Structure 1
Amino acid sequence: MADLETAIQRFQDAVEATPKDHPDRARRLESLGTGYRSRYGKTGAIANLETAIQLFQDALNHSSSPTLDRLAPGRNLLTLYSETGNWSLAYLAASTAVSLVPRLTPRSLENPDKQHLLTEIVGLASDTAAVALMAGKTPYEAIRLLELGRGVIVGSLNEMRADITDLQHRHPQVAKEYIKLRDQLDAPATFTDEADPVGTPRALIRQSDQRYTAGKKLEEMIQKIRKLSGFDRFLLAPSEDEMEAAAAPGPIVIINVSRYRCDALIIEKRGLRAVQLPHMDNGEVRARAAALGSDSINTQLLEWLWETTAKPVLDVLGFSKYPRGCWPRIWWIPTGPLAKFPIHAAGYHERGSSETVLDRVISSYSSSVRALMHSRQDRPKAIMAAVSEKVVLVGMQKTPGHDNLPFVRQEIDRLNALCNSMQLQVREPQTNRKEVLAALNDCQIFHFAGHGETDLLDPSKSALLLSDGALTVASLFETNLHSRKPFLAYLSACGTGQVKYDVLIDEGLHLIAACQLAGFRHVVGTLWEVNDMSCVDAATTTYKWMQEGKLSDGSVSEGLHHASRRLRDQWTADSATRRAIKYGTGEQDDGQRVTGQSRFNRDNARDPRHPRDIESCDDAPLNWAPYVHFGV
């Protein structure tokens, strides 16, 4: 206790010696507040708690201090207010902190610098959205806060590439000035070897200054544009009406995971609502995410996802049985560690069951509402003009330093034949970075079959592996195809939608997002490792469906959905055969005798709403479950 008192006195002296407008003041106030909070924990004296809260509040509101120094006291306030059940004040503190996030990562900062800073706010947006609901705020306010504090890097880059056709038509000179400033910030960084006397590259300093100046001027230009008639929401987060309009093709469901509560925030064309998920627990989600691996991706996991997440949502939306006629669509936006899980595959996948997502809706994903709306901006006609459209097929059967993939050639050959039958121009470039990037600039469909690599510490270094190196997330971020809006990037490789660096999980920095950001309207990828042979079947079925759908927007998600169901049905049949061999002779569901199949007594069947014995179902990997669709 004596050491604590000494520390508090030194913190107090430091605060008193710091001028009111000094940039170090927030950090020193926060240190003093932490001291009083520790004293409260030891003594229980309310006066210490009240002093700590006031100090944290002063630090949060200290506008002269760096943004990062103000965020820490904001999180302290959120914790203290929530512990006392004061949700209104917890909401005020947390929402103030989240509103600082854009200042933490200004447009002038390079993406690596933004990544580093954003590691400091992991989970803040989700906690703030949960607290907003606890304080009685609207579902729109909770979603607004999530949009503000998640997907910051991709959101910023999307803003740089937003369609401004209307501005160009109505205010051409303003648009020209905006584009000039925007392009200065959107251009890839370039450096020289020129150095100053102490060894710091002058070119780097000069470029940093130029970016700062351009960023400041761009912010002023954006404010100027918002004062123009009809442009008051230029580059702002979507309004409630805009969100509802975005849900016209199908509901958008944000699954928010927080230590305070878990909710499904549902956007429909007729309104927004929040559905609390009482069976989802933040601690369990995090524990399962931490243990996620080939052994834990099993039917138990899919059944847990069904009970805690998918079933409550589908029941509320009225998707309670196998559809007759057109399949309904749904877009999932999972937050935090839940982004690692296959919500689209949740359910009880026993033969004849409709207690699955796959058997009720067609699922797509997005990293945020903004990203989904951006991908729909100014999109071409629903059907892609087939004649003269180019398809780039890249197959990496042999990759230096990695196992051979014997089925890659078969996948490429099948797709080549299918694309030719659709009168598409097929090109198979040399498998080096230069040729592949050049081919991307002149294609409507890009299909990669080969190895993918997920970087454990820097998601921007996750990559598709080519013959001369890696095609990284960062390099795709620098690729801008928005003037053409290519149709589809199909990434038939391991973990192309995977982020293993948990503190950046909400940024969604993976290969799927990178292709979306580059300009592709649809991206198909994977959440974890995939089977070489299953990739051939998944791709072939998807492209056949696209062919039948005349390359319409809907044909991509429909094709992948039916490909997954077909692979799932084969997996179910194979699992039944394995059970038959393992447990002795019995009858199949249709009464046919099969060696090794135990008889399934339907009269005594387990209630599908409860977990069942899955030992015999998981001896075959879930090769049908990893495939996901992002896009319109």
Structure 2
Amino acid sequence: MMRQVLLARVQRRVTMAASGADAETVLSREALAEAAALLARHRAPGVDLPALHACGLFFFHRALRQQGSPSGVRDSAAAAHLLAAVSVTAPDKLPPPFRVLYRRLGTDPRELFSTSTGFTTDPLVWWDLALETMRGAPASIEVFHLLLVADVLRLSRLSATPEHPQYADIISALGVHLCQLRSATRNTSVAAEAFEVCGIALELLPEDSSGRPLFLRNHGREAIVLATELDDAAAARAAVESCRAAARLPDADGRDGVNLGSALVQCARLTGNEQLYREALQTYLRVARSSPELRTTAVSNLRSLLGRLLQEPGHRDMVAEFCRSVLPEPGTETYADSPVLHAAWYLENTPARNGHAPPDPAAMVDLTRRLLAVALDDAGRRDASLAASTALHQHAQLTHSAAEAREAIALARTGLDLNARLDPSQEFFFRHALASAHGVLYEVTGDAEAQREAVHQGRLAVDGLDGADDVQRASALAQYAGVLHRYAARMADGPRLHEALALQRRASDIPGLPDGLRITLLCGLAGMLTDLHVLERPETPDALRQAVTAAERALSLAGPGNPRWAHFARHELMHARRLLGEAERDPGLLRSVVTLAGDILGADESTLVKGIAHTAELERARALGALARMDDGDDDRRAALTGLAHVAGSAEIRPWVRMQAAVAQLQLSDHSEPESLDRVATAVELLRLNVASGALWDDRAHVVRTFAELTDEVVLTGLGSGRPERTLELLENCRGLLFQDLGAGFRLAPEHAAVRAEIEELADRLRALDAKDRAAQGGVDERRELNREIVAERAELMREWQRLEGLVPQEDSPDLTLLAAEGPVVEVVSTTEGGYAFLVTGDSAEPVRVLPLPGLDTATAHDRVLTFLTAREYATEDRYPGRVRLLAQGEVRATLDWLWEAAARPVLEALGLTAAPEGTWPRLWWCPVGFLGHLPWHAAQPAEGDGVLDRVVSSYTTSLRSLHFARSIPRADQGERALIVAQPEVASAEPLRGVEREIAAVRRYVPQSTLLEKAEATRAQVLEALQSHSVVHLACHAESDIHAPGRSRLLLVDHEESPLTLADLAGLRLAGRQLAVLSACSTFQIAPALADEALHITAAFQQAGFRHVVGAMWPVADDVATAVSDRFYDRLTGGGTHPPRTDDAARALHDAVSSLRAQYRAAPTKWASFVHVGA
């Protein structure tokens, strides 16, 4: 097809030239290229007469247009030679001028044409044309030019015989240009021709010829191309032969080495000769080390070859032996050695494919640090970063090194950034490494943010599994399942634990996995099943039995040759067997746990992960404790207590694990033992440490929820020791932990004013950060960036806090005598063995008396509280029928009656408050612990007769520290400014129809007050007004969120867009504030699981700096709120004759509630909601 096209083009040019067309029609490069290409397509034997005829006429017309010039003479000769074939084979088609020419010159046309080649016989015509064409563009590498020169040289070769004196020159020139043409076009046909021509040139050139090295190298390169593109084994062998010869030349350089390496690789590939691969590796390495200009190419080729060989199991031994033989001494390696170092790392880090033992982490860290030191290009740095991150997080897990875990994270992030520019499809590997490193950091430090980041990165790794092989897929799924499992176990999150279990089973279903990964999967499965049993507490221990089976299979697979894997299996087996032994009361299983733990603790430390050793000690002690409880064995009990004490007291163990040990120690202790109270103190201190170490509010709140039952141990152990004051101190230290230390500034004396200012400023920032944290919505993923910001800022603030901490006097417990100077404080608590009231009376001889309350045991009190809360809701909700609400009021009355008989009456009688007082009424502060805070202690009363309200003025405090804080707020001066906030209607709540009447009543008694109402009552306006008013009255809806207390809010006009939350209020610091009256509903409603943390709006106002706060435990009707406010302010202002005397707030509220009770005694939910909190 192409011949026909070219022939037509040449014929057209001839026709146009004969018609007088422009000279360029035949003299242009394009015209010459078409004629040369047409002639060069000829293949002997045979004669292509049309092509010869057309091209002969073409050169004839070129000669006519160049008469008198050497080029014209040459083109005339070319025409004569080409038309000679026409004269011989078809004389009738020969143009007449040429017949004359042949006769005049006496030339026989047969001598100018060869029937064997079908072409002309004089190569010099074409040689001269080729030289002229090359001289026209001597440095051109344009494909068009290269192709034109090659075609003309092909014609010269076609015309010459091997005996022609110019034959060697023609072959040499053609070979050079064909190599250039192949390089420009990457055409394998040209490569084959170049290979053949260069081979001929080598045969023609003498050994000492200066041109021979060029053709030796070209011959080798073209053979490499043929071997690579056409899988030509013969070409590969020829390439090796030529390249070896070139590499031995005196002027051989790095390029010859790179070519020889390539030739060896192709020959090895096509012949299966592994020794050639080894020679190629050695050749590339030699060039990389010795040739600076070719180092990058040689390193790249070496890395590529090693990577390919490592993917073929049959070559691993050869590669391993090569690496061992060429690796330099540590500290002497260079960039040239980086591929070898990486291959050595890969061989060590992927042993499980061949069933070998896992690599030595310390050796891997050393190896990858060497890799990092020599990685210069981005690809090398990326790969080295990944390798080093993997080695470091594995070693960090073994040695419990937080520094190495953090370094592993940093390196994985570096690799991820580099990979984004190089090959985003490989992102999975770096996400996987990041998840693993963050998971180890959590294991080592207990850093909850590290665990959340591990979950996030693990999920991203799983999402990027497209293209991963089965092993990579199973590894990523298992790793993500593992971090998700640990997060779910820590947060007691059942749905996430089930998700982790499903992922683990999905990974386990992948067939053909290596033993090491299979062991990892089985261990993870065992751990998840064990924690599922702990979380869900099913009736039967089926999950534990499955966990034991999985862990036993893992241990069997590990065998004696893989101690580190075996330790992981024993770790899970211990936990599952211990719980199963306890569930089935099986001493044999428990004894086996002791044996397993002994195997771990007695192992070579170099094979033992420190975290597993810590857990082994804890599990052994727990198993011994369970055995002691079964048979009352003193030896087992002593051994268990010793082991638990060691874990609880070890600073290198995570605080969470230490806390578990401390609690287990308390559960095993005899409350009457002298050392038991010290154990309680240790547990309390560890509880505070765990809370303080939480970066986010939810982390700290989770710690408080998890160890809420510590109160029971504190009380029972403390009372068993006969030390009520110390018991009360420890009990106090278990409460209010989420705000611990933020009020430290008020303890400083005036001479420390500068430090106090610093501390208070820092406390403000911490409060604000907590407020931001608690108010934020969304799950782990949605809050990820915010969480990271909060964690980083809190870490910085806590570092500063620790610096200032040493300047603050050690907090002493409040002086109990002074604390009770204005009336007794009653801290009441329920335990499994009964209730107790700690009576703080101001008696210096006996500051604390303990009153047993046997009817207030946990089971009874808890049932009563649940009944009360249910009945209260039915009684206060208009949506229920009247009959239901009446029955509910009866249940509420019954609860108040029970509370009176079980606790309130005994307390009042013990305090000598047995009748209605004459003169000034005594005051009493209730401080209920835990879920007892849901009860209205001030309203306890019998079905008939006097109750608490008839004997004492009641106030509440969330802790003794809170009362101490409220008392430290300076008393009011006369003329305090008052603020009223009124918001009767908001979009998402029923209108408060009594607000206007309520506000009118308040303003009647406090006429100079500032009023913010309706559209003016925005979050920003209220917060600004709080800065300049010491008395605040809020008449609006409130919304308590018991699941996320920080988002409890006052329903102001803009609460949907900009809510004023509990977190905002608690984050304020308002100096010298006196009274906040929260007429809003449910401002004293507490979160059940965080009852001792004062997470309600009333407490938030006190924490903000108000000396007195009036709040509501549940919603009340508008008319009730109005009546209470009217009576309260009447008493507080002497009927409006003077400004509010805020220190009379408790008595004023007592009068208002008593008045309301007189109207609604049978409906306690109407009058018992309002409470006073504070001084």
TM-score tier (shorter): 0.7 to 0.9
**Structure 2 counterpart SS, 1:250:** coil
Structure 2, gaps ≥5 residues long: 1-585, 774-780, 873-887
Output one character per residue of 1:90-127: Cα deviation in whole Å (capped at 9) or x when no partner: 33322210122332233884433321222222131353
Query: Which residues of 2 match residues 93-112 of structure 1 at below 5 A?
Result: 93-106=679-692, 109-112=695-698
Output one character per residue of 1:434-482: Cα deviation in whole Å (capped at 9) or x when no partner: 222222222222222232222131222222222222322111122221x
Query: Which residues of 2 match residues 176-195 of structure 1 at below 5 A?
Result: 178-179=759-760, 181-188=762-769
Which residue does the alignment assign to 1:530?
A: 1116
Q: Does 1:379 align with 2:967?
A: no
1:410/1:178 CA distance change after superposition, 3 Å: closer
8 Å contact from structure 1 (residues 107, 156) kept in 2: no
Which residue does the alignment assign to 1:141?
A: 726
Which residue does the alignment assign to 2:813?
A: 238
1:310/1:493 CA distance change after superposition, 3 Å: same
Q: CA deviation at 1:328?
A: 0.4
1:24/1:64 CA distance change after superposition, 3 Å: farther
8 Å contact from structure 1 (residues 56, 73) kept in 2: yes
Whole-angstrom CA distance in 2 between matches of 1:385 and 1:18? 75
Output one character per residue of 1:347-367: Cα deviation in whole Å (capped at 9) or x when no partner: 1254xx33x110110000000
Which residue does the alignment assign to 2:184?
A: none
- 1:476 is matched with which residue: 1065, 1068, 1071? 1065
Output one character per residue of 1:540-597: Cα deviation in whole Å (capped at 9) or x when no partner: 111111111752233211111011111111113xxxxxxxxxxxxxxxxxxxxxxxxx
Whole-angstrom CA distance in 2 between matches of 1:42 and 1:143? 32
Residue type of the partner of 2:813? P
Whole-angstrom CA distance in 2 between matches of 1:542 and 1:474? 28
8 Å contact from structure 2 (residues 967, 1107) kept in 1: yes
Q: CA deviation at 1:268?
A: 2.0
Which residue does the alignment assign to 1:629?
A: 1172
Whole-angstrom CA distance in 2 between matches of 1:108 and 1:39? 35
Whole-angstrom CA distance in 1 between matches of 2:1119 and 2:734? 40
Which residue does the alignment assign to 1:329?
A: 923
Point out the structure with the larger strand share: 1
**Structure 2 counterpart SS, 1:622:** helix
8 Å contact from structure 1 (residues 107, 215) kept in 2: no
Whole-angstrom CA distance in 1 between matches of 2:918 and 2:711? 39
1:447/1:14 CA distance change after superposition, 3 Å: farther
The answer to which structure, 1 or 2, has the higher relative contact order (CA under 8 A, 6+ apart) is: 1
Which residue does the alignment assign to 1:219?
A: 802
Whole-angstrom CA distance in 2 between matches of 1:453 and 1:181? 30
Whole-angstrom CA distance in 2 between matches of 1:131 and 1:18? 40
Residue type of the partner of 1:471? L
Which residue does the alignment assign to 1:249?
A: 822
Which residue does the alignment assign to 1:498?
A: 1085
**Structure 2 counterpart SS, 1:29:** helix
Q: CA deviation at 1:274?
A: 1.6
Which residue does the alignment assign to 1:592?
A: none
Q: Does 1:162 align with 2:746?
A: yes
User: Which range moved further: 86-95 or 249-258?
Assistant: 86-95
Q: Does 1:284 align with 2:860?
A: yes
1:128/1:24 CA distance change after superposition, 3 Å: farther
Q: CA deviation at 1:259?
A: 1.8
Which residue does the alignment assign to 1:358?
A: 949
Q: Does 1:52 align with 2:664?
A: no
Whole-angstrom CA distance in 1 between matches of 2:833 and 2:645? 21
Whole-angstrom CA distance in 2 between matches of 1:182 and 1:263? 35
Residue type of the partner of 2:968? Q
Whole-angstrom CA distance in 2 between matches of 1:237 and 1:121? 24
Q: CA deviation at 1:628?
A: 0.4
State the Cα RMSD in Å: 3.0
1:432/1:202 CA distance change after superposition, 3 Å: closer
- 2:1035 is matched with which residue: 441, 445, 449? 449
Query: Which residues of 2 match residues 188-587 of structure 1 at below 5 A?
Result: 188=769, 205=788, 208-226=791-809, 233=810, 236-239=811-814, 242-270=815-843, 271-291=847-867, 292-293=869-870, 294=872, 295=888, 298-348=892-942, 350=944, 353-354=945-946, 356-381=947-972, 384-386=973-975, 389-420=976-1007, 423-428=1008-1013, 430-469=1016-1055, 470-481=1059-1070, 483=1071, 485-500=1072-1087, 502-548=1088-1134, 550-572=1139-1161
1:237/1:415 CA distance change after superposition, 3 Å: same
Whole-angstrom CA distance in 1 between matches of 2:642 and 2:800? 36
Whole-angstrom CA distance in 1 between matches of 2:1010 and 2:1154? 30
Residue type of the partner of 1:90? S
Whole-angstrom CA distance in 2 between matches of 1:445 and 1:199? 39
Whole-angstrom CA distance in 2 between matches of 1:320 and 1:300? 21
Point out the structure with the larger helix share: 2
**Structure 2 counterpart SS, 1:499:** coil
Whole-angstrom CA distance in 2 between matches of 1:174 and 1:23? 40
Q: CA deviation at 1:497?
A: 1.0
Whole-angstrom CA distance in 2 between matches of 1:11 and 1:551? 68
8 Å contact from structure 2 (residues 597, 616) kept in 1: yes
Matched-pair identity in %? 27
Q: CA deviation at 1:625?
A: 0.8
Output one character per residue of 1:128-164: Cα deviation in whole Å (capped at 9) or x when no partner: 0331111211x210111011111112343333x5264
Which residue does the alignment assign to 1:602?
A: none
TM-score (norm 1): 0.80
8 Å contact from structure 1 (residues 392, 428) kept in 2: no
Query: Which residues of 2 match residues 611-626 of structure 1 at below 5 A?
Result: 617=1162, 620=1163, 622-626=1165-1169
**Structure 2 counterpart SS, 1:347:** coil
Q: CA deviation at 1:177?
A: 5.1
Whole-angstrom CA distance in 1 between matches of 2:788 and 2:861? 44
Output one character per residue of 1:43-97: Cα deviation in whole Å (capped at 9) or x when no partner: 6655444443332222212221122211112212222224xx6443433322210
Q: CA deviation at 1:415?
A: 1.4
Whole-angstrom CA distance in 2 between matches of 1:321 and 1:42? 51
**Structure 2 counterpart SS, 1:536:** helix
TM-score (norm 2): 0.44
